[in-house]
Amino acid sequence: MTEKTKKTQKVYTLLVEVGRHVGDGLPDTATGAALMCYASGVDEAEAVRETVAILKQADLAPLDVTGYGTLEERLAEGHDIDEEEQALMQRALDENSVIVAQMTPFFE
């Protein structure tokens, strides 16, 4: 038997669009929101699955997820990533968690 090689966790930047759901905590007049999240996973698909599951547990209604890649991928694309954002990414990695860095409600 061969021992499985441990897959390395990475942190992915995800933009999640959510709709309304009872108990979601959004302002009464909001029609939904955009959430900037940092999520750890062995690949982006796992990070997306974990993020959607956690948001559903928090009574949010995820509609769409856009992935922006890892820190390394974003830097290679020329994204400007400040120390605070990098610290949140490191925290997501250290805690093997999903960090919601920003929530922007939508009003129509």
pLDDT by residue (tens digit) across 28-87? 999 999 999 999 999 999 999 999 999 999 999 999 999 999 999 999 999 999 999 999
**E strands present in the chain:** 10-19, 32-41, 61-70, 98-106
pLDDT score recorded for residue 5: 55
Would you list the domain boundaries of the chain?
10-106
From 66, 70, 88, select the one nearest 79 (Cα to Cα).
70
pTM: 0.89
Q: What values do phi and psi take at 97, rounded to 5?
A: -135, 180
